[in-house]
Chain A
Amino acid sequence: MKAGSDLAASPEALWSEVEAAADAGWPQWVRTLNRTVLVAAGLLLLILPFLVESIALRRNASLLVLSLGVLGLVVATGKAGLISLGHGAFVGLGAFAMGAFVDLVGLPYPLALTASFVTCCLFGWLLGLIALRVKGIYLALITMGLAVVFPSVAKRFPSITGGTSGRPIENTLDAPAWTGLTDSQTIAVRYYFCLVVCIAVFALTRNLLRGRIGRAMQAVRDGETAAAAFGVSIVRLKAGAFGYSAGLAGTAGALQVVLFPFVSHEQFNVFLSFRLYAAAVLGGIGAIIGAIYGVIAIVIVPTLNDIAGGLIRNDGRGLLDNDVIVFGVGLILLTFVSPDGFAGLVQRVGRRFSNRP
């Protein structure tokens, strides 16, 4: 029985399960599958405005931008080993910052987006500096506390957050008047703005993680002492990773403001953080492709719920009033079946087939 000693798991052992997905080579056909999913998802996203009504478009788009929050968790938890249960708070911070930069400062949208990204990075970096001093599980505790307290704190700044009732954004992102686009087409313009930003951010993050920084992060996650001995500055790296990851979550919030010109503290409660975390783990927290699978889950679950409701309940509602339950149960099941999420599951199945003589 290998109990006891494992309880005080060393940092090296801690991430062994996750690292299996990230480090080992991907079999050829899994690469192909992942690439196919990427291309198919990309194509679908490109033509989405021509396929669905503007309401459905807006709903799916708001889930799409959440992918940046999930990506943030992949960077912080999967790559840097910092468990965060509070990324919902950064999504909220990004949304409020975006609202403030657009309305109160009067910045144009691309600049405001950059500014809210930087704001969230700064806050995340500060929290990351604190995070350096506490160990894994306690960081989860602190970030969860942050997520719980965030809405109440937000209410204290009514000029930015609109206090209890929320605040509509005045300077919305619209197509210029000369294009003569209708209201529903405006939604499509906002959608494409978000899509471009999302793709750009995913590409940037992928390149960052592939390069020197990404390797250094993996080294730190797998063994701090060894990494430090090779000249990696752990302080700079961890705080930086948490800051960047908070910036990603903040961008998700800022893009939500682009889609829905309204901010309210109610959107950013602790369950948003839990949902993001669940999506990241379900998708596969060790790899960027995991964030994409995670978002596919976020989009597909409510849709399937509606379809099942239409088949079984027939009263215009989903099968479950509260489809979040699927994420909870999925999280538990996947921990047993595939700790490295759906991405890891695909990879392992793939390796089994490719190893056939």
Chain B
Amino acid sequence: MDFFIQRVFDGLLNGTIYASLAIAIVVIYRATGILNFAQGELATLSAYIGFLFVAPSSLALSGSGLIGVIPGLPWPTPVAMAAAVLFGVAIGALVERFLIRPLEGRSELSIVNVSIGLLIAINALVIELWGTNSRRFPSPFPSEQDDFVFVLGARLRFASIGVWLTVLVVLGLLGLFLHRTKIGLAFRAITSNRSSAQLCGIPSGRILMVGWAVAAGLGALAAVLVSVSGRVFLDPTLMIRILIYSFAAATIGGLDSPVGAVAGGLVVGLTQTMVPAYVPYFSTELSLLPPLLAMLLMLLFRPTGLFGTARVERV
């Protein structure tokens, strides 16, 4: 039983992180019908920028002394994390403004190409600047060996609680933003019916830019949280795997449903820890396979996912 509960805790921790990135994917997909393949790499870059503020000497580039101009380095971890999220917000807005908006009205393939191009370029940039080594992002949560409480006989680490609380607070703020502010209202209007919203005078470009900014910020949060959760290190390929898990989560939950993204994230997180625990064949590295198969089955038999809405298409 303890073993089972322990897996539940681990699964929920991973699931929370997948859920945040899945929500980012869903936010963009709902508003624009685009799957952003670069979502993970934008997050990686943001996390590395945050890491730069706690470890200014980490750049593998000559002439990185410029960083020293910024006062007070190294910053405390929570500040660096916030900086990473802010950087994510900024880069998300820039990407929408300069790479996505000019392609309005062009084919799906162009946008896929741009997002793949971004993915490749950002990944290569991170490797160019920081090298391929894994980095240890200092944790803002107590994460020593004995920083845990026993719950139902299993270890619940403080870092996990910290990750959950952070995500809960951020999602709460996101909900407030979408449902209690004018910009949020405009965003929901565009999501629901873009051309009608435009006819009502909503500046769709600017509002979508906010959407991309929010999504990239959420992604940055996911990347930072996974690297401070104390289980994995920050490395240039970290988010590729997490992106696949999150795509699986978003697909299982329904690509146009934020609630579905959270549910899907938790399902994927639990599948990832449970299946390998009870079916030894899927241990560690193959733990990616069960969520992928789940995604495949979902796409084949219920393409709208658990919570998604069916789209009627006219020929």
| Residues of chain A whose beta carbon lies under 8 Å from any beta carbon of chain B | 1-9, 13-18, 83, 85, 130, 133-134, 136-138, 140-142, 144-146, 148-149, 152-153, 155-156, 225, 270-271, 274-275, 277-278, 281, 320-325, 327-332, 335-336, 339
Contact = CB atoms under 8 A, between A and B. Distances in A.
Interface in B183-217: 194-195, 198, 204
B299 interface: yes
B109 A15 contact: yes
Interface residues of B, number: 51
A9 B112 CA distance: 14
Interface string B112-147: 111011111111110110000000000000000000
A270 to B, nearest CB: 6
A153 B285 CA distance: 8
Interface of B: 32-33, 35, 37, 99, 102-110, 112-114, 116-125, 127-128, 194-195, 198, 204, 240-241, 244, 247-248, 251, 285-286, 288-289, 292, 295-296, 299-300, 303, 313, 315
B113 A281 contact: yes
Contacts of A336: 102-103
B289 A85 contact: no
Contacts of B33: 7-8
Given A321-B127, A332-B121, 5 more contacts: A3-B104, A7-B194, A85-B37, A141-B295, A275-B120
Contact of B108 (A134, A136, A275, A324): A136
Smallest CB-CB A-B distances: 6 pairs: A328-B121, A331-B117, A328-B120, A325-B124, A4-B195, A332-B117
Contacts of B198: 1, 3-4
Contacts of A152: 285-286, 288-289
Nearest to B236: A322
A270 B40 CA distance: 14
Contacts of A6: 104-106
Contact of A3 (B125, B195, B289, B292): B195
B110 A335 contact: yes
A6 B125 CA distance: 33
A331 B104 CA distance: 17
Contact of B286 (A153, A320, A322): A153
A331 B116 contact: yes
